[in-house]
Amino acid sequence: VALISGLTDVDAISLTAFNQFTAGKLPALTVTTAIALALLSNTLFKFSMIASLGGKDLVRRCAPMFAATSLGLVLGLIVVWQL
């Protein structure tokens, strides 16, 4: 659900996950994972929009930042899952 809902909007899944955590219905690891997956799907969606509308030059200029952001999210999830 987080991957699909994060495509266009991360706020909704974040608020829902935090509310569920506050109510004691979701553990912190689940909330963290859901938000990270929503952010990752949102980042990839935005990069695909740049790729389809912006052309090769813009993709080359934006790719390093999007790659660093995505790598940071994945590495952060790996660290959190190890705790």
| Better-predicted residue by pLDDT, 48 or 7 | 48
Residues 57, 11: Cα–Cα separation, whole Å: 30
The residue with tokens 């994945």 is 74
pLDDT given at position 8? 82
Residues 10-67: tens digit of each pLDDT: 999 999 999 999 999 999 999 999 999 999 999 999 999 999 999 999 999 999 999 9
pLDDT given at position 62? 97
Cβ atoms of 77 and 33 within 8 Å: the answer is yes
pLDDT given at position 43? 93
The CA-atom distances, in angstroms, between 59 and each of 35, 53, 62, 66 are 25, 10, 5, 10
